[in-house]
Structure 1
């Protein structure tokens, strides 16, 4: 593997399963110490233990609902004391409610916005001081092609992911002087529980989408993890403010 992330301390949110779990594993293989952050503490600890056993990684599991700034600060304090200051952040945690917009309500909107957008902002702010003080870092936001082209049944989710992309671009300009890069990865349809929600909402959407993908398959979490590892590596040192679609050619922009 080309990536060498020895000496990095990586915090991956929503890393208990799915894309986040695959990202944490890929970064561990590359030599990073891993903080697995998940809303379910037992899931986070189990994933961290598995990373330590499988890859010999220094790993710790921490619980935090990223929409709660107090929980985020407490989790970062635990990571700092056990692994050191975070210099690689992957904002992956997200939630969705897959329904027609007119069938959703304010409680749905608030939860999606508070986790996907505000949560990304909250965790990013929590790690920035250490990155600025210690000479730089990498922030990689997991957005979605839904934030670029929209997705039926995911209107507010699409809005938050578009916001994550814009947030990353703007902040990348502000913090570049500190040696901090910020990039987004925008997955297309990926084999996760979220795709299952979309399939439950309307299986024809999934079927037609897969037929439209030039590579003729949905992504696997490892497909996303590989791009994240590249952006975390020195090979991507001159990239910032970019959004990379990982969609099998479904979107080309």
Structure 2
């Protein structure tokens, strides 16, 4: 089974921090060419400058909620690397909200625009490029591309204070399944990675502010620990590689078993 992504070109959104940044670094380490994308231009530029090797990397900053930004991103990627093989939709936002809707539906609207619509639109653009590319390459029966959505176990939980986030990630999971069927005839695979608590910078900050938070997570995780970013990025590599060539429409869960026993009150990200 080959897990190689060497020589492939990937777009990774949400690449200025967290899992998106970890995925970008890992794919570069594995020999891929990576367009790092984020809304936060300053942070993205700093992280790009900190890369030990930049020969196969490029970056693009912009508001991914805007259609023109996405079109410009595709143009920039083709200008830099001349092709696209992998799309990782890693950009997402987590916001708490009021389940009784006292503040209106602003939070749900914002998270659907942030967590769902860019992934939907960019996947469409990426698929069109991958299909055209296969024709140019004379690729009549081999794999054409892989789209990977970064989701959350919140999609399967009922946590009232994260209602909008849960709905947006559940919609992303359904997008994964629907696009997988729609793009199967074009030999483009679409899968998702849904994770629980991973030791990202944001989680580290939360743990510093609340010392009981770590123990709460561990107590509600059968494997009794918090995952490291490596455990997510290697799953992304698997889905991007030919090692998963017969997998599509799947939501791979990395949560240490939390969704098997998880009480509603336990925190999740």
TM-score (norm 2): 0.84
Mind listing any 5+ residue stretches in structure 2 that lack a counterpart? 135-143, 262-269
Decide whether the 8 Å contact of 1:31 with 1:57 is kept in 2.
Answer: no
The alpha-carbon distance between structure 1 residues 152 and 198, as it changes in their structure 2 partners (threshold 3 A), is farther
The residue that corresponds to 2:27 in the other structure is 27
Q: Deviations over 1:34-55 (max 9, x none)?
A: 000000123223333433x24x
Q: 1:131-185 CA deviation, whole Å, 9 max, x = no partner?
A: 1112211000001110122334211110010111111101101111111000000
The answer to whether residue 146 in structure 2 is matched with residue 142 in structure 1 is: no
- Aligned position for 2:121: 122
Compare 11-20 and 36-45 and name the one that shifted more. 36-45
Worse-matched range after superposition: 158-167 or 101-110? 101-110
Q: RMSD between aligned alpha carbons?
A: 2.4
Conservation of the 8 A alpha-carbon contact between 1:46 and 1:61:
no
Secondary structure, counterpart of 2:249 in structure 1: coil
Shifted more, 57-66 versus 20-29: the winner is 57-66
> For residues 99 and 193 of structure 2, what CA distance do their matches in structure 1 show?
25
Deviates more, 1:187-196 or 1:141-150: 187-196
Indicate the residue corresponding to 2:250 in structure 1.
Answer: 242
Question: Bigger radius of gyration, 1 or 2?
Answer: 2
CA separation in 2, counterparts of 1:34 and 1:45?
14
- The correspondence for 2:75, drawn from 73, 77, 84, is 77
Gaps of 5+ in 1: none
Q: What CA deviation, in whole Å up to 9, does each residue of 1:170-201 have, x standing for no partner?
A: 11011111110000000111223554687799
SS across alignment from 2:253: strand
Partner of 2:57: 59
TM-score, normalization by structure 1: 0.89
2:179 pairs with 168, 171, 177, which one?
A: 171
Query: Does structure 1 conserve the Cα–Cα contact (< 8 Å) formed by 2:97 and 2:107?
Result: no
